[in-house]
Chain A
Amino acid sequence: MSWKTIIIKDGERINLFLNNLVVESANVKYHIPLDDINAILFENYKTVVTTRIINKLAQKKILTLICDVELKPISIIQPIEANHLQLKIINNQLNWKKEDKLYLWTQIVKQKIEAQIDILKVNLKKLEKVNLLYKYIEEMKFSDSTNKEGHAAKVYFKELFGNTFTREKENHINAALNFGYTIIRNAFIRSITSKGLHPSIALFHHNMYNAFALADDLMEPFRPIVDNYVYKYVTQIDYFSRSTKLELINILNSKVIYGNNKIYLTNAIDKYVDMVLNFFEDKSTNDVIYPISSSVEYYEL
Chain B
Amino acid sequence: MSYKFMRLMVFYDLPFDSKDNVRSYNKFRNNLFKEGFHMMQYSIYSKICYNKESVDFVIKRINKFLPKLGNVRFLIITEKQYQNIKIVVGKKNNNELINDDRRLIEI
Contact = CB atoms under 8 A, between A and B. Distances in A.
Contacts of B103: 3-5, 250, 253, 299
Contacts, number: 70
Given A1-B54, A18-B33, A33 B99 contact: yes
B34 A32 contact: no
B105 interface: yes
B106 A9 contact: yes
Interface stretch (A20-28, A73-81, A85-93): A20-28
Contacts of B47: 33
Nearest to A6: B105
- Size bin of chain A's contact surface: 20 to 34
B34 A7 contact: no
A31 B50 CA distance: 18
Contacts of A6: 104-107
Interface residues of B, number: 22
A55 interface: no
Nearest to B57: A1
Majority-rule SS of B interface residues: mixed
B95 A31 contact: yes
B98 interface: yes
B84 interface: no
B18 interface: no
Contact of A8 (B38, B54, B94, B107): B107
A9 B104 contact: no
A99 B52 CA distance: 45
Interface string A22-62: 01010011111111100000000000000000000000000
A33 B104 contact: no
B107 A20 contact: no
Given A5-B104, A35-B36, 7 more contacts: A1-B54, A4-B103, A5-B105, A36-B36, A36-B99, A246-B104, A299-B104
Interface of B: 30, 33-36, 38, 47-51, 54, 94-95, 98-99, 102-107
